Chains A and B, each alone.
Chain A
Amino acid sequence: MRDVAVIGVGMIKFGRYPEKTVPELGAQAAHLALKDAGVDMKDIELVASGNLYQSNAMVGQRILQIIGQTGVPVINVANACATGSTAFREAYMSVASGAYDMTMAIGSEQMGKMGLLGGGGAGGDPAYSTEGVLGSGLMPAVFGMAGVEHMRKYGSTQEHFAKVSVKNHKHSMHNPYSQYQTEVGLEEVLNARVVSWPNTLYMCCPTGDGAAAAILCSMDKARQYTTKPIRVAASVLTSDPWTQRDLIMPDINTLTRNAAKEAYEKAGIGPGDLDLIELHDCFATAELLHYENLGICGEGEAGRMIDEGATSVGGKIPVNASGGLLSKGHPLGATGVANVCEVVWHLRGEAGNRQVEGAKVGMAHVIGLGSACTLQVLEKV
């Protein structure tokens, strides 16, 4: 495997674009990334396109029908919430393997208003639908229970989780790409209506539309295009290994821990070397679990970490400087490429008022329930 660099990134502000098509959103992001890299479609040798809700509709090819039909290989990727980040990894692997010199990853999504409450239908006779009868398989309850498991193990409280929402909303105020850029107070978060306890409305990511793209290039050619290549120090994808309850209660922890171990080994770093992390806060409960899963604190210390402000911008290890999915939004296919964009901007020193000063190494983490975990370690060179 050879070294790979990200030489261009771009994303559109997440939000609602009912007047646009998914390929139009993806095309906008692709144009931004191409422009950022200073290349054009004839330089791109492979495109990996992530989209979930239209995964049978050849979104990648339809994007090329807008931005340039060069006849290159197009891979359409679907991997739940890890859809975009898996597309990024495909684009990375294609260059790392030596098969191609320059590739593009695009993530795009239009979610409608159902968002993470969508799906869950049993098919066939609705009398046999189990949702609400045999518990819940919907994301708010799944991540609610994952948080409750942390309460059970370590005595963490709803307030600990609520503080994640307060922090990420505060961060979002400085991110022009964020769907929401509004500060919320702790009382406001705790008093908001409960979606699935312990997560209240402000502790759940919004639904929306969005797109993001990245251009990857072999490191030996990267400097032809940019003075600030960002090295992909590790790009890892795991699925859930067998654990006792996983088939009944999705285990979001073990596969993240496995991915973290592999990513740190590949990158030759430890969690203490990270300057910032964009991680998968689809629900506020998830963020605290991942502090421990990614090893930025010890077992059971996540609650203390958020209490101490260690993961705020300006703290020891800023997490979700972008505002996270809780504010920035979570258009599934776009999410995993967008968090690469965010980390790249910080490593280049281009993140504006939310800049993590002097950032040299960053991590982007995504979980797709079912489950897939991706980790990208990015490094300034």
Chain B
Amino acid sequence: MAEAPAAEKTQRPIVPFLKLPATGNPYLQGSRCKKCGATYLGARMACSKCFSTDAMDDVQLSDKGELHVFSIVHQSAPGVPTPYIAAIVDLPEGVSVRCNIQGVEPDPKNLKFGMPVQMVTEKIRTDREGNDVIAFSFKPI
């Protein structure tokens, strides 16, 4: 049996639509409906806009987008460190992403609607099997 590349053994994305290729940069994967063009984050069984069940096209989503809206979270579930910036980022493919904004203090005055942001990835935790869990966030450009 062939051994899997080392990168796949030790690095695991926090969500399936975050792709960590052995070579090249991490990226978010989307899927586009062949019929109506609606684009989704991650894989889809069918299109919830036009109901098409045809296989969708995989799309490598842009790593740059614009800040749509945000909230500064000061109280969260137990164990979640606060405060932090929770946000919705719009990507040029017509996909929105829920994410944290890093790289600025969590204060509304540091955030502008439509400001350009760039995706970054980092190891956030180690899972039960000892793999590095990799998450993405966005930071102002």
Query: Which one of A130, A132, A145 lies within 8 Å of B71 (CB-CB)?
Result: A145
Tell me if A138 counts as interface (CB < 8 A to partner B): yes
Residues of B within 8 A of A149 (CB): 68-69
Tell me if A99 counts as interface (CB < 8 A to partner B): no
Tell me if A223 counts as interface (CB < 8 A to partner B): no
Q: Tell me the interface secondary structure of chain A in the complex.
A: loop
Residues of A within 8 A of B124 (CB): 133
With contacts A196-B72, A248-B97 known, what are 7 further pairs, Cβ within 8 A?
A131-B80, A133-B135, A144-B71, A145-B70, A193-B75, A195-B74, A242-B48
Complex contact B77–A131 (CB within 8 A): yes
Complex Cα–Cα for A136 and B99 (A): 8
Residues in chain B within 8 A of chain A (CB atoms)? 14-15, 38, 40-41, 48-49, 68-77, 80-84, 86-88, 90, 94-100, 108, 113, 124-128, 133, 135-137
Name the 7 nearest CB pairs between A and B, nearest first.
A144-B71, A132-B80, A197-B72, A127-B127, A135-B98, A135-B86, A136-B86
Complex contact B94–A148 (CB within 8 A): no
Complex contact B72–A247 (CB within 8 A): no
Complex contact B76–A136 (CB within 8 A): yes
Whether A135 contacts B135 in the complex (CB less than 8 A), given A144-B71, A193-B74, A249-B96, comes out as no
A117 to chain B, nearest CB (A): 6
Complex contact B73–A134 (CB within 8 A): no
B12 to chain A, nearest CB (A): 8
B101 to chain A, nearest CB (A): 9
Complex contact A133–B94 (CB within 8 A): no
Whether A140 contacts B136 in the complex (CB less than 8 A), given A135-B86, A135-B88, A248-B96, comes out as no
Whether A194 contacts B74 in the complex (CB less than 8 A), given A148-B69, A248-B97, A249-B88, comes out as yes
User: Which single residue of chain A is at the shortest CB-CB distance from B72?
Assistant: A197
Tell me if A224 counts as interface (CB < 8 A to partner B): no
Complex Cα–Cα for A242 and B49 (A): 5
Complex Cα–Cα for A247 and B125 (A): 26
Complex contact B14–A134 (CB within 8 A): yes
User: Which single residue of chain B is at the shortest CB-CB distance from A117?
Assistant: B77
Complex contact A194–B72 (CB within 8 A): yes
Tell me if A370 counts as interface (CB < 8 A to partner B): no
Query: Which one of B49, B75, B125 lies within 8 Å of A196 (CB-CB)?
Result: B75
- Which residues of chain A from 123 to 155 have a CB within 8 Å of any chain B CB? 125, 127-128, 130-138, 140-141, 144-145, 148-149, 152
Complex contact A127–B128 (CB within 8 A): yes
Complex contact B73–A247 (CB within 8 A): no
Whether A245 contacts B96 in the complex (CB less than 8 A), given A127-B133, A128-B127, A149-B69, comes out as yes
Question: How many residues on chain A are close to B (CB under 8 Å)?
Answer: 34
A201 to chain B, nearest CB (A): 9
Complex contact B73–A132 (CB within 8 A): yes
Complex contact B73–A136 (CB within 8 A): yes
A286 to chain B, nearest CB (A): 13
Complex Cα–Cα for A195 and B96 (A): 24
Complex contact B136–A117 (CB within 8 A): no
Complex Cα–Cα for A252 and B69 (A): 15
B33 to chain A, nearest CB (A): 11
Residues of B within 8 A of A120 (CB): 77
Complex contact A141–B80 (CB within 8 A): no
B56 to chain A, nearest CB (A): 14
User: Which single residue of chain A is at the shortest CB-CB distance from B41?
Assistant: A248
User: Which single residue of chain B is at the shortest CB-CB distance from A128?
Assistant: B14
Complex Cα–Cα for A255 and B94 (A): 21
A274 to chain B, nearest CB (A): 30
Complex contact B73–A140 (CB within 8 A): yes
Whether A141 contacts B71 in the complex (CB less than 8 A), given A133-B124, A248-B41, comes out as yes
Residues of A within 8 A of B77 (CB): 117, 120-121, 131-132, 138
A50 to chain B, nearest CB (A): 25
Query: Which one of B74, B83, B127 lies within 8 Å of A125 (CB-CB)?
Result: B127
User: Which single residue of chain B is at the shortest CB-CB distance from A158?
Assistant: B108
Residues of A within 8 A of B108 (CB): 197-198
CB pairs A–B below 8 angstroms (7 shown): A132-B82, A133-B137, A134-B135, A145-B87, A197-B72, A248-B88, A248-B97
Complex contact A134–B72 (CB within 8 A): no
Complex contact B113–A249 (CB within 8 A): no
Residues of A within 8 A of B73 (CB): 132, 136, 138, 140-141, 144, 196-197
Q: Digitize A338-378: 1 where CB-to-B-CB distance is under 8 Å, 0 elsewhere.
A: 00000000000000000000000000000000000000000
Complex Cα–Cα for A148 and B108 (A): 10
Complex Cα–Cα for A131 and B49 (A): 27
User: Which one of A193, A197, A198 has the highest number of Cβ atoms from chain B below 10 Å of its Cβ?
Assistant: A197
User: Which single residue of chain B is at the shortest CB-CB distance from A150?
Assistant: B69
- Which residues of chain A from 226 to 264 have a CB within 8 Å of any chain B CB? 242, 244-245, 247-249
Residues of B within 8 A of A198 (CB): 71, 108
